[in-house]
Amino acid sequence: MWFFYLIGYVLTNLLAFGIVGIVGGLTGSDDFQAYSGLSRRSPALGLAALVAFLSLAGMPPFVGFVAKFFVFSAAIESGWVWLAIVGVLNSIIGLYYYLNVLKYIYLYRMENQDEEQHPLPVSRPVSIGLVVLVIGILVLGTLFGPWFGVATKAAMSLF
Axis crossing angle, helix 63-77 with helix 43-57, rounded to the nearest 10: 10
Position 52 confidence tier, pLDDT thresholds 50, 70, 90? very high
Distance CA 41, CA 35 (A): 9
Which tens digits make up the pLDDT trace of 53-89? 999 998 988 999 888 888 898 899 899 999 999 999 9
pTM attached to this predicted model: 0.84
CB 154 within 8 A of CB 68: no
For the segment 98-110, the average pLDDT, to the nearest whole number, is: 90
Q: Is the pLDDT of residue 146 over 70?
A: no
Q: How far is 151 from 145, CA to CA, in rounded Å?
A: 10
Rounded CA separation 110/34 (Å): 8
